[in-house]
Amino acid sequence: MPANVIMPALEMAQETGKVIRWLKTPGSRVEKGEPIVEIETDKITVEIESPAAGVLRDVTAREGDVVPVGRTIAVIAEEAAAPAATASAPESPPVSRGAEEGVPGAPVKASPLARKLAEQHGVDIAQIRTRSGRVEKADVLAYVERARGAGNGARLMAASPKARRLAAERGVDVTAVRGSGPGGAVLASDVETARVDVARPSAVPAAQPAAAATGGVGTVWRVMAERMTQSWTTAPHFYLVREVNASRLISWRTKAPAGVTYTDLLVKLVAAALVRHPRARVSWKDGTVVQHADIDIGLAVAIEDGLVVPVIHRADTLSLAEIAARREELVARAQSGKLRPADITGGVFTISNLGMYGVDAFNAIVNPPQAAILAVGRIADRVVPINGQPAVVPMMVLTLSCDHRALDGARGAQFLGALADLVDEPLALLQ
């Protein structure tokens, strides 16, 4: 039976979403879970996947339309129900290229998302070979990685959709902008700070946004400010602080797989502490405390326009290497504006680490409806008493911010104490 494609609620207090780009055309055959449309909210851009297999029909929202949450924007119909005129329409024009899997001049198809990625990376999609004859998103990404590994990274350029739109508005040649995103990807902030000499000579500079001209803030920052104000003014915050010896944590990281960060280690330890103290993985919702079974840990990630909190789901079941891979993937998606709905839902606890910025300690604001957030400061040498004698020890300050409606001081202290013990002796994880 037909399945509706609705404008999803991706964030707290979200009322609308903007259709940025349809990745499939009306009449196209789609598979369940295949990205079909790109949606932008105040904070992120995500790809919405098809809820069922069938044919895309009855598209009511055009690119650029702002649609209320919950409204149907398209229908995935059974293939037999599609009109003949649209059912036979190709989802994308075939690409003709040279010998492919031994068949000279064989035509291949490419998904709209694959074409978009190839364009962003400056890749000739006709050079990508696949066994099926159809180029998908994963094929383009694999080709890009191989090309970079072969030393061709200089000619492969990636840019976020927002960066490309901003570059077009301002007459900036995006290929000449130095990117600060994952793999050198160009972000909107890179375009905003680009020097005049990268502008196209023939382009007429676009007018600066009113917020920038007046020194104001953009929509994303404004929404973030409103939500943090709401949390601060409605949730009765209290803070618990522990200074912990980070010697074993440092030693553990040196023995961990390549790419593992202190944040990854803390995700592992926080997950273990939440297993032992389930009362800390709760939310305050509709006047009651809600207990969560899964341990889904959010990570506060700074992006060019504000702050997002992607989630590492079921962190207690993952190895360190799996946590690191998942964290790296989520951060890359966040910074390139490609987070998926599943990436930002389900968090029960958040970690905010500012240690890499040289911050000793800070108080974080609770990320509602969660009950607690852990603020992590830097590891720094301090003089502390050891067996009655002064000694220089690497120490780290952990600050637990709690919503007193859902988590009281005693339970918060028990959780923080368990976490501090695990930081002091990570081998306790094996017990």
Question: Are residues 61 and 198 located together in one domain of the fold?
Answer: no
Region 362-387: mean pLDDT is 94
Tokens 């509709």 belong to: 286
Residue 10: CATH number of its domain: 2.40.50.100
* 188, 300, 349 from 305: Cα distances, Å: 9, 13, 23
Q: Are 327 and 268 in contact (CB under 8 A)?
A: no
Number of domains in the chain: 4
Mark which of 155, 173, 205 sits at the end of a domain: 155
Maximum CA extent, the chain: 85
Of the candidates 208, 212, 173, 167, which has an alpha carbon nearest to the alpha carbon of residue 187?
167
Region 115-125: mean pLDDT is 67
Q: What average pLDDT is seen over the chain?
A: 79
Question: Are residues 336 and 405 located together in one domain of the fold?
Answer: yes
From the candidates 237, 292, 313, 404, give the one annotated as an active-site residue.
404
What 8-state DSSP symbol labels residue 305? T
Of the candidates 278, 265, 374, 276, which has an alpha carbon nearest to the alpha carbon of residue 323?
265
Question: Are residues 130 and 277 located together in one domain of the fold?
Answer: no
Tokens 């037999």 belong to: 80
The β-bridge partners of 19 are 39
Question: Are residues 50 and 186 located together in one domain of the fold?
Answer: no
* SS3 label, residue 392: strand
Mark which of 104, 134, 155 sits at the end of a domain: 155
> Residue 210 and residue 362: Cα distance in Å, rounded?
33
* 126, 272, 342 from 139: Cα distances, Å: 12, 37, 22
Q: Which residues have a Cβ under 8 Å from the Cβ of 341 and sit 6 or more positions away? A: 8, 10, 46, 48
Q: Which structure tokens are listed for 44?
A: 């992120």
**121 catalytic residue (yes or no):** no
> Residue 226 and residue 220: Cα distance in Å, rounded?
10
> Residue 420 and residue 399: Cα distance in Å, rounded?
11
CA dihedral sign, ordered 280, 286, 292, 297 = negative
Q: Are 188 and 163 in contact (CB under 8 A)?
A: yes
Question: Are residues 10 and 62 located together in one domain of the fold?
Answer: yes
Question: Are residues 109 and 39 located together in one domain of the fold?
Answer: no
Region 401-416: mean pLDDT is 96
Residue 111: CATH number of its domain: 4.10.320.10
Question: Are residues 316 and 421 located together in one domain of the fold?
Answer: yes
Question: Are residues 246 and 189 located together in one domain of the fold?
Answer: no
Mark which of 140, 155, 170 sits at the end of a domain: 155
The proportion of the chain whose per-residue pLDDT surpasses 90, expressed as a percent, equals: 40
Look at residue 345 in the predicted model and tell me its pLDDT: 83
In this structure, are strands 389-403 and 237-245 parallel, antiparallel, or unpaired? antiparallel
Look at residue 80 in the predicted model and tell me its pLDDT: 59
Question: Are residues 238 and 341 located together in one domain of the fold?
Answer: yes
Continuous H helices in 301-427: 320-335, 409-424
- pLDDT, tens digit (0-9, with 9 covering 90-100), for 58-107: 899 888 888 888 889 999 998 754 444 333 333 444 433 433 333 444 44
Question: Are residues 385 and 237 located together in one domain of the fold?
Answer: yes
Q: Are 175 and 157 in contact (CB under 8 A)?
A: yes
Query: Would the pLDDT of 398 be above 70?
Result: yes
| More reliable by pLDDT, 135 or 287 | 287
Question: Are residues 9 and 61 located together in one domain of the fold?
Answer: yes
Residue 364: CATH number of its domain: 3.30.559.10
Question: Are residues 9 and 24 located together in one domain of the fold?
Answer: yes
Domain that holds residue 364: 220-430
> Residue 53 and residue 70: Cα distance in Å, rounded?
21
- pLDDT, tens digit (0-9, with 9 covering 90-100), for 174-216: 677 777 665 566 776 677 676 443 433 333 333 344 344 334 5
> Residue 90 and residue 92: Cα distance in Å, rounded?
5
Helix, strand, coil tally for the chain in percent (to 5): 35, 25, 40
Query: Would the pLDDT of 43 be above 70?
Result: no
Query: Would the pLDDT of 397 be above 50?
Result: yes
